Amino acid sequence: MGSAVSSGKHKTIYVEVDGEVQKVIFSNQSSSHVIRQLLCTSAGVPWQTPVMLMDQRGSVIATDTSIPANSISSPYRIIPQAVAPISDKEDFFQAMLSQVSEEFSRAFRISELKREVSERLTALERRVEVEGQKVVDIDKCKNELRILRDELQRSQSRLSCPCSCFQSQEVIRLSQRRDLPNYPKYTLSSETIEALKKPTFDVWYWEHNEMLSCLEFMYHDLGLVREFNMNPITLKRWLLCIQENYRTNPFHNFRHCFCVTQMMYGMIHLCGLKEQVSLLELGVLMTAAVCHDLDHPGYNNTYQINAHTELAIRYNDISPLENHHCAVAFQILAQPENNIFSNVSPDLFKQIRQSIIRLILATDMARHGDILEAFRQVISIFDFTNEEHVKTLQMMLIKCCDISNEVRPTEVAEPWVDCLLEEYFMQSDREKQEGLPVTPFMDRDKVTKPKAQIGFIKFVLIPMFETVMKLFPQIEEMMVRPLQEARDHYEELMQLEDSMSSGHQRKMEAVHSAGAKGKRSGETA
């Protein structure tokens, strides 16, 4: 019990503080800086305070991994030294941290504070993770971490948006939990790269980190990183932040975001859009697809409007969800560390912003008929040099990608129907509980999978994709024909359901008839 322990991985020493003996454990790979921090923590002094370690004879002991083992009966003493002037960087950080509690009036000073706090937060998180199991008492470190995290969140709430409409009541994770992206870089095989370009891509096969790497690859492959002079690390950080701001809904989640973006990437290749439109327009299409359902709450616009939610009130019942997706997208881009468009001119960014907003708002199905009709009006005279024609095409493309699940193979598409019905049923259950009008196609007591899909495929998907096919005949084989096969599949299921329902009904009628006959026979007897 009384002797120090030194294993292959850790070393234990004993120190005397205020008459009490404490145990300090550190790794054999720990730096002198880390060991001094542990000694400061044990002595109850600020971790940057210079300290000296002395043995019972008054000899000075080196504060590194070569510290000789001692015992509980002969502890070392920790002697704090006069505090040396802190570095210019630490002085700047302390001044900024003091000022943030008094005023946030100047945006550029807040931004500088945020960067400094982020750096310190990251360092502390790593310190807690790496050294957490090796330190006897790290409460002071954890308290400092919590204080810095709270300070970072307060500064973010003021920096995230230049207007005040999203600075209250919004619970949005605008920054990822690490200063640097924490997902690994995957090397995609040639088979995966080719599969990504096709509607048959199996989106269920990939975990989140792999989907992030696939999205990152798409931006590089299309030349968007070079076109917009994106910092590759900023692209990784932005994608991670996007993923963290999709909720875990059954349907409207990050996998749906990936699904829509992958279909957009596939349509760009399938339709030869790289030869027809500019990289600016491709970048807008891809970014709108990535952001189109950010922070979706799982309840559609009809519910938002009928329930008079905060979103419906804020946006005057006009596409409340789509407006919210846009707002969150640009809150994220407003952060310097997440702004993939930071190196474009202000005028170009304004154009990009207007285009992304237009495309995300186009995903509101309430506008479906108007957008489809506008595209039909120009299809026979379509001109890729006509800006308005291209804008209409972009809206059609993001609409196609957003509701394109039935274009995929049955084994990939059908699980999405289950996810969508689960989300629908959650909404109808809530509508019933709150006494709101129940959306008919969401009522679990009335809707089946074939009923949900047949009308949607016949009257929404096929007419829309057939219209796009007039401009791009090459999508017939890969997109229109699978839709027709999906329609036939669900019609067969519908017939089977009707047959089983009729058989069940005849059986129940026979049982009822037999019961009635038996009753009459008993009465006669």
- Which of these, 355, 348, 309, lies nearest to 329 by C-alpha position? 355
Neighbours of 14 (CB within 10 A): 19
CA distance 439 to 455: 16
> What is the Cα gyration radius of the chain?
31
Residues with catalytic function: 252
| Cβ partners under 8 Å of residue 25, min gap 6 | 10, 11, 12, 134, 135, 136
CA distance 39 to 24: 8
CA distance 417 to 423: 10
Q: Token match 């000296």: residue?
A: 52
Specify the 3-state DSSP secondary structure of 525: coil
Distance of alpha carbon 41 from the chain centroid: 37
Q: Read off the amino acid at residue 498.
A: D
Retrieve residue 181's tokens.
């992206």
Q: Read off the amino acid at residue 436.
A: L
For strand 10-17 and strand 76-80, is the pairing parallel, antiparallel, or unpaired? parallel
CA distance 390 to 52: 71
- Which of these, 78, 76, 59, lies nearest to 14 by C-alpha position? 76
CA distances to 14, 34, 76, 276 from 52, rounded to whole Å, are: 14, 14, 10, 71
- Which of these, 142, 145, 139, lies nearest to 44 by C-alpha position? 139
CA distance 27 to 11: 6
| Cβ partners under 8 Å of residue 165, min gap 6 | 314, 327
Residue 442 in contact with residue 425, Cβ under 8 Å? yes
| Helices of type H across 81-138 | 88-100, 107-131
Residue 394 in contact with residue 284, Cβ under 8 Å? yes
- Which of these, 418, 400, 315, 324, lies nearest to 363 by C-alpha position? 400
Burial of 52 (0-12, 13-18, 19+ CB in 10 A): middle
